[in-house]
Amino acid sequence: MFSRRSKSRDIFRVTAIVAGSLLLLYITLHSLYDAKHQLGLQTSKGDGSLRTLKEDQDHDAQDLIDLDAVYSQDFQEDEAEASATSADPSKTAVNDTGIPIDQSNDMDDDYDTLPERIDYHEIFSLTTTNRKFIPVFTGGVGIYNPNIIPHPTDHTLWIMIAQHEQSGVEIFVSEEMTCNVGLLNDVMVCTAEPTVIPIEPSITGNCSAELAYFNARGGPRDARMYHGPDAPYIMYGSQSAYSCIGIWIEDARMLLDDFHAERFVVPKLFTHATEVQRPPPIGGMEKNFFLFWDSANKAYVHHEIHPHRVFAQLSFDGSVGPNLATYSAAKDDVCIAMYMPHLAPDMESIHQASNSLSITLCKRADPGCIPNDSNTFIFTMFHHKSYHDWHGVYEPYVMVFQRDAPFAIHAISQRPIWIHGRAELTRDTHSLLYENGKDIPAGHTEMFYITSISWKLHGQKYHGYLDDPLFLAFGIEDTRAGLIDVMAEDLFSDLGYCPGFMTR
């Protein structure tokens, strides 16, 4: 497996193995630490006296100021997003009775504490010995929000891209990084040091008023990489020609060396960074668009999922047709009301999270399982996002919709998905889990943020079956990356079906 690699890669590999072992040791110690936390145990000081873990962490005023700084950008983004969308009546927040909520005094509110324990649908790794998720090891390069797809030629590897973690330095240009990764002792390890993806420079910023500070930082943000039926794509947020921050797309083969062989031979769309447009109204700050393809492999872009879906057909120049969600809205609204979480009035939202994949809802192993119009769908993940005690919480759900017009929603997870290994603090301790410079309040769980879904097996691109393994990739507390491999049926076993659709 190592024979084809250069010497420097071998050295990196050896370093990675040594460091991987250290990482495992760290993880073991970390889980012991977690266990102590959960039991509310105390640690012993050298002098034999006991003190709580909270005291161990020495929280002084400076720490609180740092904490505030860490979250302030996130808050700014949220507030900017809320005010940028508030002009659009279709985006006005409504409560359960459908009555618009006055959000004008949000910023002064204290963020409330966590709700009572949530009922989750837990998923477990197919490959790790403890069945917890797979950490990503990059040799010390800070990354988060990972995306992976199978490597085009080496069937022991996957290609990963992720946001470069640049906190602590003043950022003028954000970056996406890439490395090839392979599984080693239950850790996904980069085979060489991650490199910056040569994404085209952002256009000049056109943000004004409360969004003006976005002009100061170019470069790709929150990139997604995923396979369509033919090509892999990289999609990311950057300065927009139509608003402040928009979404751009490029064929990943133009940007990643391992696709070099395919670069000049296969006909392609999006050979340069192209801005993906949306039907009006255009928000100041667009996020998380994803593409999907119908049974004829025509491409569409899904812009929004809540409170109403917005999606449209996509053209090669990034322009889009009219909002097609008007044709599915009557059905969708019923299903959304049935299964999507009901939002509290303050600081809660439902956001698109991942790309999409297509699935036939029977098993590849079953000879009678042949994809047709009534058993094949598209699915994606979305988040229910909330803030409590100044800590973001993202709960992931699956949404399944028809593969052809009217693309109505078919099913939605009945409960949020819990990734085995996500850390959780007890409510009755005052301890704070201190993670990469961030505090997590008592009673909270780690913030896991799903960014991408991919079929795990090599050669598989957009379409799969219930008995095919998938990778979910996620960021942890905006500082680390993780992956979990599960059978598609594990994700699909807790779906609630929309009225008028037969359950399988």
Ligand X SMILES: *[C@@H]1O[C@H](CO)[C@@H](O)[C@H](O)[C@H]1NC(C)=O
Q: If DSSP states are collapsed to H, E and C, what string results for 112-130?
A: CCCCCCCCCEEECCCCCCC
Indicate whether 93 belongs to the interface with ligand X (CB under 6 A).
no
Nearer to ligand X, 160 or 362 (CB): 362
Tell me if 243 contacts ligand X by CB under 6 A: yes
Q: How far is the CB of 57 from ligand X (least distance, A)?
A: 38
Of residues 119 and 373, the one with the C-beta less far from ligand X: 373
The single residue among 79, 83, 369, 427 that binds ligand X, judged by CB under 6 A, is 369
**Taking CB under 6 A as the rule, does residue 96 contact ligand X?**
yes
Catalogue the long-range contacts made by 326-332 (C-beta closer than 8 Å, 24 or more residues apart).
Answer: 327/405, 327/406, 327/407, 328/401, 328/402, 328/406, 328/407, 328/408, 328/409, 331/406, 331/408, 331/409, 331/498, 331/500, 332/308, 332/408, 332/409
Q: State the burial class of residue 109 (Cβ atoms within 10 Å of its Cβ: 0-12, 13-18, 19+).
A: exposed
Find all residues with CB under 8 Å of 348, minimum gap 6, and list them. Answer: 384, 385, 386, 387
- Find the binder of ligand X among 61, 99, 296, 502 (CB under 6 A): 99
Separation of alpha carbons 478 and 174, rounded Å: 14
Cβ pair 191, 179 in contact under 8 A: yes
Smallest distance, Å, CB 274 to ligand X? 18
Out of 83, 166, 167, 375, name the contact with ligand X by CB under 6 A. Answer: 375
Interaction between residue 374 and ligand X (CB under 6 A): yes
Using CB under 6 A, which of 244, 378, 381, 399 touches ligand X? 244
Piece of 55-63, 67-75, 365-373, 424-432 that binds ligand X (CB under 6 A) = 365-373
Rounded to a whole number of angstroms, the minimum distance from the CB of residue 480 to ligand X is 34
Smallest distance from ligand X to CB 207, Å: 6
Is 85 a residue that touches ligand X (CB under 6 A)?
Answer: no
Beta carbon nearer to ligand X, 101 or 192 = 101
Q: Which is nearer to ligand X, 85 or 451 (CB)?
A: 85
When binding is defined by CB under 6 A, the residue of 72, 86, 95, 153 that contacts ligand X is 95
Is 222 or 286 the residue whose CB approaches ligand X more closely? 286
User: How is 1-58 classified by DSSP, letter by letter?
Assistant: --TTS-HHHHHHHHHHHHHHHHHHHHHHHHHHHHHHHHHT--EE-TTS-EE-HHHHTT
Eight-class DSSP state of 89: G
The type of residue at 451 is: T
Residue 370 CB, shortest distance to ligand X, in Å, is 6
Pick from 134, 362, 433, 484 the residue near ligand X by CB under 6 A: 362
* Residue 294 beta carbon to ligand X: minimum distance, rounded to whole angstroms: 16
Give whole-number Cα distances, 359 to 49, 259, 324, in Å: 58, 25, 22
Q: For residue 405, give the amino acid letter.
A: A
208: contact with ligand X by CB under 6 A: yes
Q: Which long-range contacts (C-beta less than 8 Å, at least 24 apart) are formed by 83-88?
A: 83/210, 84/211, 84/244, 84/283, 84/284, 84/285, 85/283, 85/284, 87/281, 88/281, 88/283
Q: Identify which of 268, 321, 345 has the alpha carbon closest to the alpha carbon of residue 99.
A: 345
Nearer to ligand X (CB atom), residue 61 or residue 99: 99
Provide the minimum distance between the beta carbon of 239 and ligand X in the complex, in angstroms, as a whole number. 10
Judged by CB under 6 A, does residue 206 bind ligand X?
yes
Instruction: Return the residue matching tokens 């069937």.
Output: 155
Through-space distance between the first and last CA atoms of the chain, rounded to whole angstroms: 42
The count of residues interacting with ligand X (CB under 6 A) is: 15
Write the CB contacts of 74 (distance below 8 Å, at least 6 apart in sequence). Answer: 392, 478
The least distance separating ligand X from the CB of residue 420, rounded to whole angstroms, comes to 30
Q: How far is the CB of 248 from ligand X (least distance, A)?
A: 16
372 binds ligand X per the rule CB under 6 A: yes
Which is nearer to ligand X, 205 or 441 (by Cβ)? 205
208 versus 426: smaller Cβ distance to ligand X = 208
Binding status of residue 502 toward ligand X by CB under 6 A: no
Q: Which residues bind ligand X (CB under 6 A)?
A: 95-97, 99, 206, 208, 243-244, 362, 369-370, 372-375
